[in-house]
Chains A and B, each alone.
Chain A
Amino acid sequence: MKNEAKKNNLMERNLKNKRKAGKTDLPAVHLNDDQYRGFFESNPAPMWIYDLDTLRFLSVNDAAVFNYGYTKEDFLAMTIKDMYPDEDVPRLEDHIQRDAHAPIDDSGVWRHRSKTGKIFHVRITSHKMELDGRKAKLVLARAFTDEMEAGLNFARFAELSDDLYCVVENGGGFRMVNPAFERSLGYAAHDLKSLTYRDLVHPEDLEAGMASLNARKAERAAVNFSNRLRCKDGRYKWISWNTTPVTEEKVVYAIGRDISEQVQAETLISKSLEREKRARQEAEKVNNRLAFLVEASTALSESFDYQERLKAVAKLAVPRIADWCAVDILEGDGRPARLAVVHSDPRMVEYAFEIQRRYPYKPDAPTGLPKVLRTGRTEVTNDIPDELLVASARTEEDLKLFRKLGLKAAMIVPLVAFGHTLGAITLVYAESNRKFTEDDRMLAEDLALRAAMQIDHARLYSEMRELNVALEKKVDERTAELQAVNRELEAFSYSVSHDLRAPLRHIHGFADLLARHVENTMDEKGKRYLRLISDSVKEMGLLIDDLLVFSRMGRTEMRKNPVDLRDTVESVVNGMSQDIGGRQVEWKISRLPIVDADPQMIRLVFQNLLGNALKYTRPREKAVISVESEERDGEAVICVRDNGVGFDMKYADNLFGVFQRLHNSSDFEGTGIGLANVRRIVQRHGGRTWADGKVDCGASFYFSLPMTGKG
């Protein structure tokens, strides 16, 4: 640049000097007509002269012939209109009319058609002249070179394209813009003459664009970026640029595509993705709350040691729903005991306990834990101001401690079960931007409800258990007492009956001897008296025997085996054949189950029952005795029925009593211990005894035994 300027200045000065010196010698050149004609004829550019009125060719040069393919004769027969493609002729005519009188007309770029039909571009310059008295124009047609053609084509791209084509100078000014600028952004070419690139770019995008450009100035590589350009009407459009700097020319060639729609679409998508993401996050949050509740509930219900469980829940709460969690439970004296304090940092927990030691609980405090415990209502304080800490702290050190604990937001939720407050859960946020929302409150209250119910349950359960234990202890004591009494009784009855036998034997023996001794001398009355003595003794002996059996039944160990009751009954019946003698007895023995029982004892049961049946059917001509069984609720119920003299149900309660009889011994012998034995034995097997009867209509005796599942 500098050198050029220098050169120019030098030349100017030379010329000036020369002129001063009067040394401008113009070479004298005189050309004759032929020579001038030669200029026309042999001009490398096509030239012709045409009549302005008729538009007919008057003269053409060689170049015209060469370039267009027509001969001179052809030309002279044509008008200039024939040079143009048909579609361009109206424009030509229009132009001629308008500019016919312009002396020099540089009318620009036109399309011409050669004889072969080839279309090419030319630049036309024409001069008004006179030829042979006619108004004519001298035309010089400079054909476009291939490069120029190509350039023209490319220029058309720029013209037609909706993309923004521009050449931007390094300073930012627009050297060239295509019509798309007007179509797309609203700027006509002359609008942009006074504007720079910077004026159009959205302020936020300036940095990015310039940075990319500057970074690549050294290279020729294409730089791609996007930015927003301001349209004439103030709107912004997103443009995606493809730029190439041409460093020597100090310009940047740029093609920009309007991607506003795309951007809009993308924005919509990203917005909807945002919404989705937020929705998902919300759902996750809800899920998390639920998951927390489930975990907390599980933790609460895992055992009845509610203290441990509450501690576990407090641990769960941190840091999911709070930075601090404390659980207080009201003790019997109405004061709360701090069950758990949880923080992710154990040192903080210690500080918390320190505070508690220094600031003991005041039941009538207007806010905080005491209030919650009194009212049974949640208290949420979302912005604990430092002033409050200052006001509450008694010493500077305490204030420091308060601050260390980081009490920014607190929520105290009461544990209420069935209307009474059992304690409270305190949740604290130690970071300034976390606050307790309505959702948090609901979550905490839900948790508190479950916890409170758990505590209540646990307390009830433990009370129940204690009662149970006390009860069982009592039962055990009573059982032991009873067992002891039983043993004493049985031992007593044993020893009594055992020891009573000997004297009995003696009475009997000597009575008999006496009878023999006085046989000849005693009268009937005396003999009768002696007989009565013997009978009484015998009876007493039987009573004692029965008593012994009864006492033994209570004391001996039961040896349980599977016993086929049918076999037992059959065996007992067979053993009774002597007692039956010649009587008519019909035995109806149905299917009987197999039970787990002491064979000897069960045998005794049947001996007694069947013996009784046999005894009390003696007045009947034909005794009918049946033994049936039925399964009821896992028990076998056996029934021994007879058609004997029956009994009055009024006295049924006495039936199974020891030595109780409903008939007198003169009618039916017996000590009345048989059924007592039956009852005792059946009881020891875990069954029950009962009876049914009607005077003179027979009797049914039932007993139940637990089933083993067999038979």
Chain B
Amino acid sequence: MIMEAIKSILLAEDNGMDVELTLEALGRHRLANDVVVVGDGAEALDYLHRRGKFEGRPEGNPAVVLLDLKMPKVDGLKVLKEIKEDAELRTTPVVVLTSSKEETDLVKSYKLGVNAYVVKPVDFHEFVEAVSKLGVFWAIVNEPPPGSLRRNQ
């Protein structure tokens, strides 16, 4: 049976350049093809709920959601909240990947049940390092919740 490529990483990021750099980083570990990119919070939720333009996508939650906080339409925290309050989506690991080191964002995120909070380093090398580690851990090393889309090794 030919399956559509199972994408295990959902990247919600509005900035094109950040997307490129992130994909570049993930690419270092051959994770680039595992990434679904959405440009704002609404699209992120559409994907997760398998509605809108993602209606026919294969069932299953991503192994990890890489979530930027500052997004148009629906921002990261709202997406996080919805994910963690939804019975079916709740178990999906969410990693906030943001420029903000603001304590309030941290507090709110953790209160909403975020799994990890990573500040994007300015330094590209550090950035690559961080993103790769994230990708490797969540998409490869970590045992995702049952029902998650996982990259077939």
Q: Which residues of A contact B (CB under 8 A)?
A: 494, 498, 501-502, 504-506, 508-513, 534, 537-538, 540-541, 544-545, 548, 556
B124–A502 CB distance below 8 A:
no
Given contacts A512-B124, A538-B122, 17 further A-B contacts (CB under 8 A): A498-B102, A501-B120, A502-B17, A505-B21, A509-B21, A509-B124, A509-B127, A510-B21, A512-B125, A513-B124, A534-B124, A537-B122, A541-B123, A544-B122, A545-B122, A548-B101, A556-B103
Residues in A with CB closer than 8 Å to B101 are 548
Contacts of A494 in B (CB 8 A): 102
Inter-subunit contact A508/B122 (CB<8 Å): yes
Contact (Cβ within 8 A) A506 B100: no
B75 in the interface, Cβ–Cβ < 8 Å? no
* A545→B119 CA distance, assembly (Å): 12
Interchain nearest-CB distance for A495 vs B (Å): 10
Bound complex: CA A606 to CA B99 (Å)? 27
> A544 to B101, alpha carbons, bound, how many Å?
12
Category for how many chain B residues contact A: 10 to 19
Whole-angstrom distance between the Cβ of A599 and the nearest chain B Cβ: 15
Residues of B within 8 A of A (CB): 15, 17-18, 21, 24, 99-103, 120-125, 127
Cross-chain contact A513 with B18 (CB below 8 angstroms): no
The verdict on A505 contacting B127 (CB below 8 Å), with A498-B99, A498-B100 known, is: yes
Q: Which residue of A lies closest to B103 (CB)?
A: A556
Q: Is chain A's interface secondary structure helix, strand, loop, or mixed overall?
A: helix
| Distance between B125 CB and nearest chain A CB, rounded to angstroms | 7
15 sample A-B contacts, Cβ–Cβ < 8 Å, listed by A number:
A501-B122, A502-B15, A505-B120, A506-B15, A506-B21, A508-B127, A509-B17, A509-B21, A509-B127, A513-B124, A538-B122, A540-B122, A541-B122, A544-B122, A545-B122
Neighbouring A residues of B125 by C-beta, 8 Å: 512
A505:B103 contact, CB within 8 angstroms:
no
A534 to chain B minimum Cβ distance, whole angstroms, is 8
Are A538 and B18 closer than 8 Å at their CB atoms? no
Decide: B122 and A505 in contact? CB cutoff 8 A. yes
Q: How far is the CA of A21 from the CA of B137 in the complex (A)?
A: 197
Taken together as a complex, chains A and B put the C-alpha atoms of A494 and B99 apart, in Å, by 12
User: Which residues of A are found within 8 Å of B120, using beta-carbon distances?
Assistant: 501-502, 505
User: Complex: how many Å from CA A504 to CA B102?
Assistant: 18
Q: Could you tell me the distance between the alpha carbons of A513 and B27 in the complex, rounded to whole angstroms?
A: 13
Q: Please state if A505 and B24 are interface contacts (CB–CB under 8 Å).
A: no
Q: Which residue of B lies closest to A544 (CB)?
A: B122
Expressed in whole angstroms, the minimum distance between the Cβ of A589 and any Cβ of chain B is 31
The verdict on A511 contacting B122 (CB below 8 Å), with A498-B99, A506-B17, A548-B101 known, is: no
A544 to chain B: which residues have CB within 8 Å? 122
Question: Smallest distance from the beta carbon of B105 to chain A beta carbons, Å?
Answer: 10
Complex: A494 Cα to B18 Cα, angstroms: 21
A501 with B21: CB separation less than 8 A:
no
Shortest B62–chain A CB gap in Å is 24
Give the distance to chain B from A508, nearest Cβ to Cβ, in Å.
4
Residues of B within 8 A of A513 (CB): 24, 124
Whole-angstrom distance from the CB of B132 to the nearest CB of chain A?
A: 13
Chain B residues in 8 Å Cβ range of A502: 15, 17-18, 99, 120
Give min CB distance, B80 to chain A, whole Å. Answer: 19
* Closest-CB distance, B21 to chain A (whole angstroms): 4
- What is the CB-to-nearest-CB distance from A496 to chain B, in angstroms, rounded to a whole number? 12
Closest 4 CB pairs of A and B: A541-B122, A509-B124, A506-B17, A509-B21
CA of A508 to CA of B21, assembled, Å: 10
Which residue of B is nearest A494, CB measured?
A: B102
Task: Find out whether the CB atom of A505 lies under 8 angstroms from the CB atom of B100.
Answer: no
Q: How far is the CA of A611 from the CA of B33 in the complex (A)?
A: 45
Residues of chain B with a CB closer than 8 A to A506's CB: 15, 17-18, 21
Instruction: Select from chain A the residue with minimum beta-carbon distance to B16.
Output: A506
